[in-house]
């Protein structure tokens, strides 16, 4: 997206030889907090903006973790007989999907073609259950327990009634009982609150946030949130020097 004049956009597309779609979005940069080109955003499948641009791309590890939580419906034949399966996938109703597939596959008179399709769907669901269970273990290792908590809570909702949700609930319970993790969570939530209170597209607030981040990292020294605060403070300071 770009909020520049159409002539500038056309020149850019021709010079770059871009094969991806580019649209003009008036006030797009100011609305979403962009201050320079190109500005990279990470947007979740629910439309939530996960990261706004600083002076670098989001870390590959962060992008991989976000992608791990995306569950797209596998391809199904264009046949109304599979509408129920399609809807369960799209609504992320995995427990209902599992029950439905098991019930259908238990029918002795189920047609051979339909049995093959539903068997493939059950196998795909099993693979995803295994992947999400492994993901729970990874999230449980931290070090960003605030982000891990958010991911585990979502995972527990999406996979309620199945093993990944049970494992996620167990990790969340452990988080709530571990003093060190509770300290990390408190620091992480404090950082989220601090960032939400400042509009870094405004110069005065960006400068104020730099000062607040210095105070924050001293107050929460030794936590992962303090390390993140240091990185953010450096990014903002670099940007302000560029301005």
Question: Helix 94-105 vs helix 83-90: angle between axes, to the nearest 10 degrees?
Answer: 160
Nearest to 210 by CA among 189, 224, 229: 229
Q: Per residue in 163-185, pLDDT tens?
A: 999 999 999 999 999 999 999 99
Q: In the predicted model, is pLDDT for residue 8 greater than 80?
A: no
What is the structure's pLDDT at 199? 80
Q: Per residue in 92-144, pLDDT tens?
A: 999 999 999 999 999 999 999 999 999 999 999 999 999 999 999 999 998 88
* Total residue length of the chain: 243
Q: In the predicted model, is pLDDT for residue 153 greater than 70?
A: yes
How many of the other CB atoms lie within 10 Å of CB of 78? 7
Q: In the predicted model, is pLDDT for residue 79 greater than 90?
A: yes
| Structural tokens at position 40 | 């990279």
> Is residue 192 within 8 Å of residue 173, measured between CB atoms?
no
- Phi and psi of 43, rounded to 5°? -120, 130
What is the structure's pLDDT at 138? 92
Q: In the predicted model, is pLDDT for residue 193 greater than 80?
A: yes
Give the angle 23-24-27 at the CA atoms, nearest 5°.
135
pLDDT range class, residue 219, cuts 50, 70, 90 = very high
What is the structure's pLDDT at 14? 73
> Is residue 83 within 8 Å of residue 100, measured between CB atoms?
no
What is the structure's pLDDT at 40? 72
What is the structure's pLDDT at 70? 65
Q: In the predicted model, is pLDDT for residue 6 greater than 60?
A: yes
- Phi and psi of 2, rounded to 5°? -150, 145
Give the angle 183-157-40 at the CA atoms, nearest 5°.
70
pLDDT (mean) for 1-12: 73
What is the structure's pLDDT at 41? 73
pLDDT range class, residue 63, cuts 50, 70, 90 = confident
How many of the other CB atoms lie within 10 Å of CB of 112? 7
More confident of the two residues 18 and 198: 198
Rounded-to-integer distance, Cα 151 and Cα 122, Å: 24
pLDDT (mean) for 210-230: 92
Rounded-to-integer distance, Cα 44 and Cα 37, Å: 21
Q: Per residue in 11-58, pLDDT tens?
A: 777 776 776 777 777 766 666 656 566 667 777 665 566 676 654 566
Rounded-to-integer distance, Cα 160 and Cα 165, Å: 5
Q: In the predicted model, is pLDDT for residue 218 greater than 80?
A: yes
| Structural tokens at position 158 | 């999406």
pTM of the model: 0.70
């Amino acid at each position: 997206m770009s909020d520049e004049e159409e002539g500038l956009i056309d020149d850019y597309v021709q010079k770059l030889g871009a094969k991806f779609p580019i649209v003009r979005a008036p006030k797009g940069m100011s609305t979403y907090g962009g201050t320079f080109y190109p500005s990279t955003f990470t947007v979740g499948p629910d439309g939530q903006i996960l990261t706004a641009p600083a002076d670098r791309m989001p870390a590959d590890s962060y992008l991989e973790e976000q992608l791990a939580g995306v569950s797209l419906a596998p391809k199904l034949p264009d046949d109304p007989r599979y509408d129920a399966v399609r809807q369960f996938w799209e609504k992320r109703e995995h427990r209902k999907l599992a029950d439905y597939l098991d019930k259908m596959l238990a029918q002795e008179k189920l047609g051979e073609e339909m049995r093959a399709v539903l068997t493939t769907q059950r196998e795909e669901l099993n693979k995803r259950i295994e992947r999400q269970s492994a993901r729970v273990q990874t999230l449980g290792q931290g070090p960003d327990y605030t982000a891990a908590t958010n991911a585990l809570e979502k995972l527990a909702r999406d996979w309620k009634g199945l093993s990944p949700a049970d494992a996620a609930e167990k990790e969340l319970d452990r988080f709530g009982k571990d003093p060190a993790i509770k300290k990390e969570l408190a620091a992480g939530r404090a950082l989220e609150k601090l960032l939400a209170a400042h509009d870094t597209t405004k110069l005065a607030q960006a400068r104020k946030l730099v000062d607040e981040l210095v105070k924050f990292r001293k107050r929460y020294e030794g936590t992962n949130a303090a390390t993140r605060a240091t990185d953010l403070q450096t990014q903002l300071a670099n940007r302000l020097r560029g301005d």
